[in-house]
Amino acid sequence: MSRLSDKVAIITGAGSGTGMGAAIARLFAREGARVVVTDVQARAAALAALAAELREAGAQAAPAVLDVTRESDWRAVVELALSAHGRIDILVNNAGSLGPQGGLEAIDSAELTRLLNVNVSSQFLGVTAVLPALERQGGGSIVNIGSIGSLVAFPNVNPGYAASKGAARMLSKALAVELARKKIRVNSVLPGFIATPMATNFTSDEALMQALAAAIPLGRPGQSEEIAHAALFLASDEAAYVTATELVVDGGYTAV
Ligand SMILES: NC(=O)c1ccc[n+]([C@@H]2O[C@H](COP(=O)([O-])OP(=O)(O)OC[C@H]3O[C@@H](n4cnc5c(N)ncnc54)[C@H](O)[C@@H]3O)[C@@H](O)[C@H]2O)c1
């Protein structure tokens, strides 16, 4: 039996090709989930291609444009999932933005607000949007893709990203405690350096990238699929007694 048989999952930020959202969608679909893959309008073509690929492989998959900072988009996607499948079991809040390269000088207050909206408020909007459906069904699982940037600071990462991921980590825990009695589990995956378009855009400084890779005990950046497997565990019934936790997937980086 597949690990997500008959479950319906909404996944945000799934349109970047080699990013974590697409990897999560592929793995969830392989494990029997019916998936709604979402991203911003600019990624609509990539989303449609991903959904077609999943359908060709035998899964049920639908693309939908969802800017995670827009409440009206959330409402539309929840309606789409409910009209197509009648239920929602899993929400993966994966969409995120790193913002500009550099330190304090790289951002102003408008950029800080944008990062907080994309990386934190989005989680709040997503959870509140799916909540009525999850309550009706008597439970569900929310997986938030955070960052080890919520645990430690990094050179060349603007402090707005760190602040937003730190806030998202605690929002996830607070929601988990609040929603536990409704049998809604809320957990985070905290990725380290993962080879995705976001990491490639992080810096053009080759020496900095090499120094960071050398500091990873497992000796390499992670792959999107390795984050997808962590998300799969937290989304599945195997994690029925797991809530308010953080699964750090960083090759050991934050342990040294
Ligand atoms: N790559 C890493 O090393 C790394 C490390 C730690 C955490 N993360 C986190 O993992 C998650 C996935 O990132 P990734 O590395 O796969 O990056 P990515 O750039 O490949 O994917 C991020 C996706 O989020 C989407 N997105 C951005 N703003 C959005 C918005 N307002 N509404 C909807 N979608 C939006 C983008 O269009 C993109 O498709 C992010 O939350 C990121 O912060 C990444």
Pocket test for ligand 1, best of 12, 16, 77 (most atoms within 8 A of CB): 16
- Is the backbone of residue 88 left (phi > 0), alpha (psi -120 to 50) or beta? beta
Looking from the CA of residue 191, the nearest atom of ligand 1 is 6
Higher pLDDT, 86 or 213: 86
Residues written for the chain: 256
SS3 labels along 230-253: HHHHHHCHHHCCCCCCEEEECCCH
pLDDT of 196 strictly over 80: yes
Report how far residue 193's alpha carbon sits from residue 213's, in angstroms, rounded to the nearest whole number: 8
Determine, yes or no, domain membership for 110: yes
Given 28, 154, 161, 193, the catalytic residue: 161
Determine, yes or no, domain membership for 3: no
Determine, yes or no, domain membership for 108: yes
Quick one: average pLDDT of 93-103?
95
* Per-residue pLDDT at 70: 98
Average confidence score pLDDT of the chain: 96
Determine, yes or no, domain membership for 103: yes
Give per-residue pLDDT as tens, 233-254.
999 999 999 999 999 999 999 9
Give per-residue pLDDT as tens, 28-59.
999 999 999 999 999 999 999 999 999 999 99
Report how far residue 242's alpha carbon sits from residue 169's, in angstroms, rounded to the nearest whole number: 16
Nearest CA to ligand 1 atom 42: 96
The radius of gyration of the chain's CA atoms, rounded to the nearest angstrom, is 17
- Is the backbone of residue 99 left (phi > 0), alpha (psi -120 to 50) or beta? left
- Residue 123 Cβ inside 6 Å of ligand 1? The answer reads no
- Residue 77 Cβ inside 6 Å of ligand 1? The answer reads no
**CATH classification at residue 243:** 3.40.50.720
Domain membership of residue 103 as a residue range: 8-255
Determine, yes or no, domain membership for 2: no
Report how far residue 62's alpha carbon sits from residue 35's, in angstroms, rounded to the nearest whole number: 7
CA–centroid distance, 1 to ligand 1, in Å, is: 31
* Per-residue pLDDT at 200: 77
What's the structural domain count of the chain?
1
Determine, yes or no, domain membership for 1: no
Beta carbons of 247 and 190 less than 8 angstroms apart: yes
Nearest CA to ligand 1 atom 14: 19
**Confidence at 202, pLDDT banded by 50, 70, 90:** confident
Determine, yes or no, domain membership for 196: yes
Determine, yes or no, domain membership for 165: yes
161 is catalytic: yes
Q: Which long-range contacts (CB under 8 A, 24 or more apart) does 131-139 make?
A: 131/179, 131/184, 133/78, 133/81, 133/82, 133/87, 133/88, 134/88, 134/89, 134/182, 134/184, 135/182, 135/184, 137/87, 137/88, 137/89, 138/182, 138/183, 139/182, 139/183, 139/184, 139/185
